Chains A and B, each alone.
Chain A
Amino acid sequence: MLPLLRSLLRAHGGRVLYSAARHSSATYLQSFILHNTEVVTDHLTPEIRLLLLTPRCKYWHLRPEHWPYGDPYWAIYWPGGQALGRYFLDNPDVVRCRRIMDLGSGCGAVSIAAKMGGASYVVANDIDPVAAAAFALNCQLNGMDDLPFDPENIIGDDAGLWDVIALGDMFYDEQLADSLHRWLRRCMEQHGTTVLIGDPGRGHFLGHPIQKQLQKVAEYSLPESTKQENYGLTTSAVWRYQPGCS
């Protein structure tokens, strides 16, 4: 029924109008993810196994409009997230016995790395419901009980609960970057939260006013497969946000 329905709908104007809403139950999403991704360790944190979209998956080669859900940002291990994940695994002191918020968690690798590094409490936050299903699967794949997941947009909320906020690749959407910047400054001022940003040095991030208050704490060369997913980028770094310094 499903392929038929899809092909019928595609016939109208060539666009896939098929609504994913009907098939958004956690079980259905998990089975969809298992069928359309594969386990990947070819990244900066090979100790973490992740279900991701690769050139061997059919959707890799199809036009993006055929993907039945919102853009699968969770199906790619972003370079900024990879740098944060590596940083947490190599520097467990940063996360040990601390409470971590992984903002825009996507596949959840940064949360998993924080937990592996000894964090006392980790919450993955992503507004994409499919990311929640992918995160649960990735936790299981790494022998972890499901870590808490928060699907609400928390930017602007009181962040008193967190010792560390980790953000991978969140600074390349201009509007989001500005509101994030204001909120992160408030988190630091009110609660002394540690803010760590993973970014491969995209033009927009490097040109953003926040750059003056960042200190680069680690930089990594990207593996070949990650370069192929990020044309033009070759390295990724972790930055610590320190308002007041310049």
Chain B
Amino acid sequence: MNPFCEIAVEEAVRLKEKKIVSEIIAVSCGPQQCQETIRTALAMGADRGIHVDVSAKDAETLGPFQVSKVLAALAKKENVNLVLLGKQAIDDDCNQTGQMTAALLDWPQATFASEVKVEGEKLIVIREVDGGLETISVKLPAVVTADLRLNEPRYATLPNIMKAKKKKVDQVKPSDLGVDITSRVHILSVEDPPQRQAGVKVETVEDLVSKLKESGRI
């Protein structure tokens, strides 16, 4: 699981342990492998899962906009009060899904959270910003994205992994939610980092000096 998402799950479980949250639904969009990620969230304490089934081919072009449409549709369908997400994925580094989900739902957003407190129908969130820490208050329902220092996620242990196996994971397709996942982004090119050339082994210092001379380095 993406580390920021792990922090978001941990925060949800802590809110449940404080009896502020009654049920945690773990959602992941993508191919079959997503179920493993959902099982990890269930072993951390989420109550049930929803796997939004997207084929491996379609998942390649699945971007923040498509995922946020799915999340917004599920948030309405499941009648949730709080959407907690990691601030960004560590593969594409987009950092857009939480913000877009809030916009689509027309809910307030509290991004880069390093502390979340619930006070009645409001959330008090401390945000990590450039100049330090900013404290804001947002009305529920709301979208919160987790930053690195929000908490330290727990490990899934055997008893929790075992129990997670029996928790329910529903499967839905984006079309069941009325969501079109066609990408509107055209990627012009993707370039791999330069390949490192293999080196040569030398036996002695003399060999090294002659090799360096040969290649014109000294």
Contacts and interface: CB of A to CB of B under 8 A. Distances in A.
Given A172-B167, A203-B48, A204-B168, A231 B158 contact: no
A230 B160 contact: yes
A202 B23 CA distance: 8
A223 B163 CA distance: 18
A128 to B, nearest CB: 12
Interface in B160-218: 160-163, 165-168
Given A55-B157, A227-B17, A232 B165 contact: no
A125 B48 CA distance: 28
Contacts of A11: none
B159 A202 contact: no
B18 to A, nearest CB: 8
The range of chain B's interface size is: 20 to 34
Contacts of B45: 231-233
Interface in A50-93: 53, 55, 59-62, 64, 67, 71-73, 76
Q: Is the interface of A mostly helix, strand, loop or mixed?
A: loop
Interface in A23-71: 53, 55, 59-62, 64, 67, 71
Nearest to B15: A232
A234 B19 contact: yes
Contacts of B46: 232
Contacts of B16: 232
Contacts of A60: 157-159
B154 A73 contact: no
A202 B166 CA distance: 12
A145 B163 CA distance: 31
Contacts of B163: 230
Contacts of B8: none
B158 A64 contact: yes
User: What class of interface size applies to chain A in its complex with B?
Assistant: 20 to 34
Given A204-B47, A231-B44, A232-B45, A53 B158 contact: yes
Nearest to B14: A232
A73 B158 CA distance: 10
A173 interface: yes
A229 interface: yes
- Highest count of chain A CB atoms <10 Å: which of B22, B165, B166, B168: B166
Nearest to A234: B17
Nearest to A66: B158
Contacts of B23: 203
Residue of B43, B44, B160 with highest tally of chain A CB at under 10 A: B160
Contacts of A230: 159-160, 163
Interface of B: 13, 16-17, 19, 22-24, 43-48, 154, 157-163, 165-168
**Shortest 9 CB-CB contacts between residues of A and residues of B:** A231-B45, A232-B45, A203-B47, A229-B159, A203-B23, A232-B16, A232-B13, A76-B159, A71-B162
